[in-house]
Every structure is written in C-alpha cells, then in structure tokens.
C-alpha cells in the first residue's frame, strides 16, 4: 500500500501583528519557506506536482497559486488554498497525504501562511438601508447564541473543567521557558529575523499584571495575533523508495467536528480517533505538539486525551510564538518533524478551531 513521507519541514519566524513582517504580502512570507523546504528535500521547483496552502484572513482569490508563482514553481502547479481557520495548516498536510496515497501526485508542498498585519478590512452588508458593518471575526455557526467569542469560550472551558488561572499562567510561563532554549535551525531567516521575537522571560509577576480578557483568560495566557508561514514537502513512499530519499512517515490523521460552543475540546476526539485508527498506544508517543491558542485549551486537550505533559511542546508552543491562524497547524507539524529527529519514534500534533473543529496527525521516524 502506498503511504506518504515528509521529506522536509520549514517555517518562518512567527512575528506579532504589525511587527517586522508588517510590510510583507502573504506570498512574500510564504515563498521563501516553500523554497527552503524544497532545498532541504533536494528537490527542484519543477518536480512539484501541487502546492496546498491554508489561509484564513486574506482577501480571497487563491493565495496558494500566487505563492507558487512567486516561488518560481512551474505554471502547471495550480495551487489549492483552503480555509478551515486554525486547523487549516494541518489539514493542508492531510490533503497532501491523501493526494500522494491516491496516486494523483508524487510531490506536494503543503502548509499555511497568514498575515494578520495585512488582513483586509471586511464588512457585512444588508438588504435594507443599513450601512455596512465592519467585522474582524467571521461567523462560525448559523446560530449567534452558539458562536462564542474565542476568549469567552476558553474561559467557559476553564470554568467547566476547573482549570485555574494559576494553572494557565504556569503553562504559559513554561511555554516561554521551553521556547527560549529551543533550536532555531528549522526557522528560515526573513528580513533579518531568525527566531520568534515574542518569546521572553515570562514570569508570575508579569502574569499577575497582565490585563484580563475574559474571566481567567489574560493576555499572558492566550496567543497573540501574528504573521508567519510553515510548509512541508510530502511525497509518496514509492517515490521516496525509488529516489532513496529518507524522511518521516506520515501515518495518518483526521479532522472532526464537535460542539461549536466548546471548540477547545474538539482535538481530544481527533487525537483519540487517530490513536485508535492507527493502533497507537499513548505510552508509545515520544513527542506531542498541541496548539496553545489559550493555555486553558492546551491543558484541557492534554488532560482529556490522557497524554503525558512531559512530552508536550518541549520546544515551546504558540503562547511563546504567536498565532498566525492559517499557518499554526503547519507550524505544529514542522515542530513535530524536527522534534522527533531528536526523540525518534512516534509523535502527534493536534489543534482546535472555531466552530468546534479538531485536527490531529501522527508521524513516525
């Protein structure tokens, strides 16, 4: 049976909104990452069959196509852009997996890119005489009363599960500490930035002073909006064998919908179903990357899926980097790819999205 292999994985620095990348277009952030990943894989641009990119805040069109052309990929590479909000970057890789397993493609570049800084203004229009209304968060359900603000949903999750502010702050502090000592050789330097500038020496005093957003949720224990990109090169196992190319096996994964009022819990079922479908025991996992849009959400996922926190986000998480929505899932995959080069064995990544979505992926070295 044909499987898929990740040959390489690269990402940009993750830079908070209106920072060093504020002047860059989506394709200017993404294209250097695509080319770095291809270079690591020993591939020329004309060997790429498809490029899949997740993007959630752009102006529409087909950013994947624009990125492919900007990177110098052949004109025959059509480019496919997807929007599943936060899970999109991971889902792009799962789509690449499906393409190579089906035999439709041999080489796919997949990931995500986001620019919060260059996010276009969006307006809701009406059929009556009311003027258009500007909005920032899109609608995620057809029911306004079941479409919560993300910070409010995270706070409700913390209340429901009894996750204290002290626990959330401690998780955030640990995330920054881990990120400060993490390797940066998988990060592509852009505009002179070679690491994640948001990472800092967060401590309890900072957390106590941090403005509250909703209940126990503060600016210290939630991710900041950010710009960034991450991409991997996915090839069929048959292609890798013929080329004597070594990489990381993509075992499988899935995306699942859950309760839109508790979006932070959706990755638990995605993790559990992926583990079950692949006959993986939790105790066999060597490294796990969990999205930290909110510390409460990360804690809930780790506890809910029964994962040992000692193996989670050992190089820091998005609390220490920032959250470039469409790219965040791909960032997790890049981190996992490089992390299991150190730990060996099995690893997983999982992420939640507004609307009650959860995605998970499993890799093996």
State which H helix or E strand residue 21 sits in.
Answer: none
Rounded Cα distance between 205 and 202, Å, is 8
pLDDT recorded at residue 137: 81
Q: What are the pLDDT digits (tens) for 18-71?
A: 999 999 999 999 999 999 999 999 999 999 999 999 999 988 899 999 999 999
Find the mean pLDDT for residues 125-139.
90
Q: Residue 288: is its pLDDT beyond 80?
A: yes
The CB density around residue 121, as the number of other CB atoms within 10 Å, is 8
CATH class of domain segment(s) 4-119+222-364: alpha beta
Asked whether residue 337 carries a pLDDT value surpassing 70, the answer given is yes
The mean predicted confidence, pLDDT, of the chain is: 95
Reply yes or no on whether the pLDDT at 9 is more than 90.
yes
Q: Residue 184 is encoded by which pair of tokens?
A: 């940066």
Give residue 287's pLDDT.
97
CA distance readout (Å), 137 to 119, 123, 364: 12, 11, 36
If you search the block for the tokens 């060093």, which residue do you land on? Answer: 20
The DSSP result for 271-283, as a single string, is HHHHHHHTT--GG
Domain boundaries along the sequence of the chain = 4-119+222-364
Q: Has residue 204 got a pLDDT over 80?
A: yes
Please report the pLDDT score of residue 254 as a whole number: 95
Residues acting as catalytic residues: 86, 323
pLDDT of the residue at 168: 98
- 3-class DSSP assignment, residue 46: helix
Strand partners, 145: none
Alpha helix (H) residue ranges in 233-324: 237-242, 266-277, 295-304
**What pLDDT shows up at residue 145?**
84
Reply yes or no on whether the pLDDT at 1 is more than 70. no
């Amino acid at each position: 049976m044909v499987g898929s292999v990740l040959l390489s994985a690269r990402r940009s620095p993750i830079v908070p909104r209106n920072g060093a990348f504020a002047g860059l277009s989506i394709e200017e952030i993404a294209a250097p990452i695509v080319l770095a990943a291809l270079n690591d894989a020993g591939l020329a641009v004309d060997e790429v069959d498809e490029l899949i990119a997740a993007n959630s805040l752009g102006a529409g069109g087909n950013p994947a196509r624009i990125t492919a052309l900007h990177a110098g990929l052949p004109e025959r590479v059509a480019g496919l852009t997807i929007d599943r909000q936060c899970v999109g970057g991971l889902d792009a890789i799962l789509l690449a997996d499906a393409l190579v397993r089906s035999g439709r493609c041999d080489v796919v570049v997949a990931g995500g890119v986001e620019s919060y800084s260059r996010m276009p203004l969006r307006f809701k229009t009406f059929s009556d005489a009311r003027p258009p209304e500007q909005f920032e968060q899109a609608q995620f359900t057809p029911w306004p009363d079941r479409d919560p603000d993300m910070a409010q949903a995270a706070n409700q999750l913390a209340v429901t599960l009894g996750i204290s502010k002290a626990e959330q702050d401690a998780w955030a502090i640990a995330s920054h500490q881990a990120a400060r000592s993490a390797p940066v050789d998988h990060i592509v330097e852009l505009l002179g930035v070679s690491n994640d500038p948001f990472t800092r020496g967060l401590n309890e005093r900072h957390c106590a002073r941090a403005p509250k957003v909703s209940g126990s949720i503060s600016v210290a224990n939630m991710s900041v909006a950010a710009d960034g990109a991450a991409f991997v090169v996915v090839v069929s196992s048959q292609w890798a064998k013929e080329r004597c190319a070594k990489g990381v096996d993509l075992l499988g994964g899935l995306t699942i919908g859950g309760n839109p009022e508790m979006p932070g819990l959706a990755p638990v079922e995605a993790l559990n179903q992926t583990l079950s479908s692949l006959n993986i025991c939790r105790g066999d996992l060597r490294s796990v990357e969990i999205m930290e849009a909110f510390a409460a959400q990360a804690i809930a996922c780790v506890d809910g899926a029964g994962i040992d926190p000692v193996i989670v986000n050992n190089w820091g998480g998005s609390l220490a980097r920032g959250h470039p929505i469409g790219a965040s899932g791909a960032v997790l995959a890049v981190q996992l790819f490089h992390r299991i080069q150190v730990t060996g064995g099995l690893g997983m990544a999982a992420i939640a999205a507004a609307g009650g979505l959860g995605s998970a992926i499993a890799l093996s070295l």
